[in-house]
Amino acid sequence: MASISSLGIGSGLDTTVMLAQIKAGEQTRLSPYTALQSSYKAKVSAWGQVSSGLSTLQGTVKKLTGDAFNTLTVSTNKAFTATASSTARADTHSVTVLNLATSHKLKTDNSFDNQHRQLGSATEGEERTVTIAQQDGSKMQVTLRDDETSLSQIAKAVNAAKGDVAATVQRTDDGYQLVLSSRTTGTDGKMTVSVEGDAVLDAVLNSANLHEVSAAEDAKLIVDGSEYTRSSNSVTDILDGITLTLTAPSEDNKSEQLTLTQNTSAIKSTLQDFVKQYNGLLTSTTSLSKYVPYDSSHLADADVATQNAQNGALMGDSTLRGLVSEIRSAVNAVYGESEADYASLADLGIKIDASTGQMTLDEKKIDEAIADSPNGIATMFTGSGDRAGLADALGAIITLYIGDTDKKTDGIIKTSTEGLTAQADRMQEQIDKTQRLIDASVERYRVQFQNLDTTMSKLNSMNSQLSGILATL
């Protein structure tokens, strides 16, 4: 007799539904593990939010250690432009540009009717070497074959060498000329040209036979009464933290005043950003750690209350509590000398709510503080001598928790999330193991139901045969 392929056909029982119910019941064995795994993953995600908030706040804190207080507004001048780095200081300087640094430029004295005509002679080995030396000691050499001595091919070979000299072929009314331009400005870039192995080509390219289009000259300028000579028009080593870019000689050799003034708007915008990022972090940590009591009013006497699904993923986490406590202590502390006018955030007009930790900013009071003493505010954040400032204190706390990428050190958060991830992985192993046991158990029931169907089918068949025999008696 053929085996039963569909459950319940032989026995008349709805074993398909029974098997589905058994399987559903068996699957509940996974619930404790999946719940734990979800909890671990939710905590990892929550710590990711905290870490992101700390990183954002850290960016603003770093500005408060220097950049916010060292941003300068630079005057506009005719003979030069100036840019200031964080090491520059507010000041005024007298600058006179006597002359600009220029690049040495040479061209062939003769013009040629065809830029593709070979200018060299046949040589032994069919090669000659063109050497272009500069006064700073640099040297470039190009080797040309007998069929590579035209103006266009010489220019191509020089440019292909990618050295400190560029070459072009210019067309004039008299014909074509090769032009060599030093990429190095000033006297350091003065060129001498020679050809070895081809006297004919040497007569064309040798420095003695080249015309000087522009001389190699150094830049000369006077800064605060002292005269300086530089090979470049970009001057970085005269005024600390300031780059002077020379653009033209000063009119009638008259000096211009370079003025650098402190940009107080940068201080205010950074403080506003600091308050915003701090409040954002506190909002996030409050949400992630919140506790919502479970409403048990609808539960029967035999029911058991469970945690409210609205609880924060890091509710009761001691590490998060420690982080929030340290940050709130830091922003509420007093920094600097006891007699300083600005030693706390409250002195600047930044109030901190005692219950929520959220900051509110009084713009009028901050404007008055910035106008009164920007250096005093800077000292409060950056510290002085052995006294740490608020930015230093916060920076140390943030680094403790998120680590330092420059020093390749891990923070507390990474250690915590690695542990949580490992626990989630172990739960997955347990889930996989339990699922295999469930599948095996359900399969045993399926086989038993199939055997029951087969047996019942045989019994029913025998019963029908016996009834038929009895009916003939």
Domain ranges of the chain: 1-71+264-290+310-457, 72-100+219-262, 103-214
Convert the pLDDT of each residue in 191-214 to its tens digit.
Answer: 999 999 999 999 999 999 999 999
Check whether 308 has a pLDDT greater than 70.
no
Residue 337, helix vs strand vs coil = coil
Are 95 and 256 within 8 A, CB to CB? yes
Q: How confident is the model at residue 461 (pLDDT cuts 50, 70, 90)?
A: confident
Which pLDDT value is given to residue 295?
Answer: 62
Which pLDDT value is given to residue 96?
Answer: 98
Convert the pLDDT of each residue in 256-277 to its tens digit.
Answer: 999 999 888 889 999 999 999 9
Closest to 192 measured CA to CA, from 243, 231, 135: 135
Tokens found for residue 395? 């920076």
Closest to 271 measured CA to CA, from 380, 398, 372, 355: 380
What is the average per-residue pLDDT within 51-60?
94
Convert the pLDDT of each residue in 238-258 to its tens digit.
Answer: 999 999 999 999 999 999 999
The H or E element that residue 214 is part of is strand 210-214
Cα–Cα distance for residue pair 293/32, rounded to 1 Å: 21
What is the average per-residue pLDDT within 32-60?
93
What is the average per-residue pLDDT within 225-244?
96
Check whether 29 has a pLDDT greater than 80.
yes
What b-and-e string marks burial along 4-15, b requiring 16 or more CB atoms within 10 Å of the CB? beebbebbeeeb
Q: How confident is the model at residue 297 (pLDDT cuts 50, 70, 90)?
A: low
Check whether 5 has a pLDDT greater than 50.
no
The reported pTM is 0.65
Convert the pLDDT of each residue in 66-113 to its tens digit.
Answer: 788 888 899 999 999 999 987 888 899 999 999 999 999 999 999 999
Which pLDDT value is given to residue 384?
Answer: 81
Which pLDDT value is given to residue 65?
Answer: 85
Are 53 and 277 within 8 A, CB to CB? yes
User: Domain spanning 103-214: which CATH class is it, in words?
Assistant: mainly beta
Convert the pLDDT of each residue in 316-334 to its tens digit.
Answer: 899 999 999 999 999 999 9
For the chain, the C-alpha Rg in angstroms (whole number) is: 42
Residue 184, helix vs strand vs coil = strand
Which pLDDT value is given to residue 306?
Answer: 57
Are 170 and 107 within 8 A, CB to CB? yes
Check whether 189 has a pLDDT greater than 90.
yes
Check whether 170 has a pLDDT greater than 50.
yes
Higher per-residue confidence, 310 vs 189: 189
Which pLDDT value is given to residue 4?
Answer: 40
Closest to 420 measured CA to CA, from 50, 19, 18, 23: 50
Check whether 58 has a pLDDT greater than 80.
yes
Angle at 203 between CA 197 and CA 205, to 5 degrees: 85
Check whether 302 has a pLDDT greater than 60.
no
Which pLDDT value is given to residue 305?
Answer: 53
The pLDDT mean for the chain works out to: 90
